Amino acid sequence: MTLETRFREGLLADAAVAAALDTRLYHQTVRQLPPYPAAAFQRIATRRIATIEQTGNWMSSGWVRFQVTVLDTDGIRCVETMDKIRKALQTFDLSSEDFIGSPAVRVVRQAPNLVVRETVDVQPETKPPVFVGLLDANCFFRDVN
């Protein structure tokens, strides 16, 4: 499972985010004239902290940075949706199920995710005005083969 899939599933597993966006959380691009609110996300960067290889198997951990773009015609609802996403980010990390289920590894499940930037603006020349919220988050991940 890719980090993008884990990220999307982690956000939509949160009841508040699911209620706000339903299934309108898209990878990379929001479709044209979506029902609002809608959101798109994309991976901006990946920084591996450690990769350990032993007898053909490997384990890797690090940080991946995602940007989430929230679109809405209601500015207050846009900010509320961003707040729900920020709170949901504190409920999961992007560790693979293979890593979590490994009997050789004890994992304390925590979400050391960090929102590093947040802005809200209005998309120019839109009627009704479309509010654009940007949220950049660093998310922790662990993978094994």
pLDDT for 105 beyond 60: no
CA of residue 124 relative to chain centroid, distance: 26
Average pLDDT over the chain, rounded to an integer = 86
> For the chain, how far is it from start to end, CA to CA, in angstroms?
11
Vertex 89, ends 10 and 5: CA angle to 5°?
Answer: 30
**Count of domains observed in the chain:** 1
Q: Which residue has the tokens 């990379």?
A: 28
> Quick one: pLDDT at residue 145?
67
Instruction: Evaluate whether 120 touches 75 at the Cβ level (below 8 Å).
Output: yes
Domain of residue 61 covers 3-144
Q: How far apart are CA 110 and CA 93, in angstroms?
A: 7
Angle at 28 between CA 39 and CA 140, to 5 degrees: 85
pTM: 0.84
pLDDT value at residue 103:
43
Strand partners, 46: 64
Digit-coded pLDDT (tens) for 19-31 = 999 999 999 998 8
pLDDT at position 86 is: 94
Maximum Cα–Cα distance across the chain = 60
Indicate the length of the chain as a whole number: 145
With a cut of 70, say whether residue 81 has pLDDT above it: yes
Rounded CA separation 98/54 (Å): 16
CATH code, domain carrying 122: 3.30.2000
Determine the pLDDT at residue 15: 95
